[in-house]
Structure 1
Amino acid sequence: MKKKIVLGCIVLFSGLLVLIAHIFPTRPFVTITNNTNKPLFIYAGESIYDVDPEPEEVERIIRSKPEIIAPGEQYEFTASFISLIRRDAAIDVGWRIGGQYEYNSTGGGGQNFILSSTAGACSVSIKINDGFNNNILEGTPGNLCFKKIMAFKYKY
């Protein structure tokens, strides 16, 4: 009888932790707003900073389907729990305006973020306007999160 009570308490506690993790924003996230009058094709994913992807990862990225955001709408990309554990985890966000591919789009761009436990914000907002690399980046201070998100640009 005691074993069942202990097991029930463990299950209840685990369920409560999962519920809290999904209700409260404990993971950093990026909100993308489409301020254009055309559909926005979003390519977002996670990687490890300064590590080149394996050929299988490149193939998966190429074949991935983008999220499509209508004009005036928003999309939210939240970091995974695995990225909270990883060292040097990064979030990569790219977009195309009006078309999924370069030949049929009227603009595009990208922004990279690194997850840090010391600097940054719990959430970041990207407002995308018409043109290439024409966006506004805003950090939202406050909130409680395990890791913070900090914007950066790759140097080529």
Structure 2
Amino acid sequence: MLESKKDFVEPAIEYAFNYLQEKGHNNISLFFIGTDLPFINDLDLRNLSFSMIYNPAILARGDDMCLAINYCDSMIMTASGSTYGWWISYLMPANSTIFYNSQITDHASFTKDVHDYDIFLDEWIKLTVYNETAHREKWWWYQRHNWSREKADGTYFI
């Protein structure tokens, strides 16, 4: 599975911040969930005017999950192959805005990539980064690769 990478995380945070502002949210805070504190501390977010940025001490996974589900209004899944991030997103209130990386694995050809339509909810916003900018991806993996849905349904990797 593809881990969180700076070249996706920074543009994705910027996209989500701007998206939420356009939807009328003005008091936006950022709350990090993760254990790689050097990675989190290396992110450059100076160009975004968050009300607060929370980088709490490492908590138990259940505590992180509980905090996110009960106190966050949106979520960016930067490692979309993570079942942990998926469950947090899935268990958030129905009106939450969920963003996720459209590339799930390093080579974007694993079964989770091909069957993204069967994993991620339609209302979740899939993001693709090119030219250092995050863009909303309109198509599922099979559509981006000119496959039919039937071909994707019949494709499995071991």
Same fold (TM over 0.5): no
Q: Which has the higher strand share?
A: 1
**Shorter-chain TM-score: what band?**
under 0.3
Q: Which has the higher helix share?
A: 2
The TM-score, its normalising length taken from structure 2, stands at 0.23
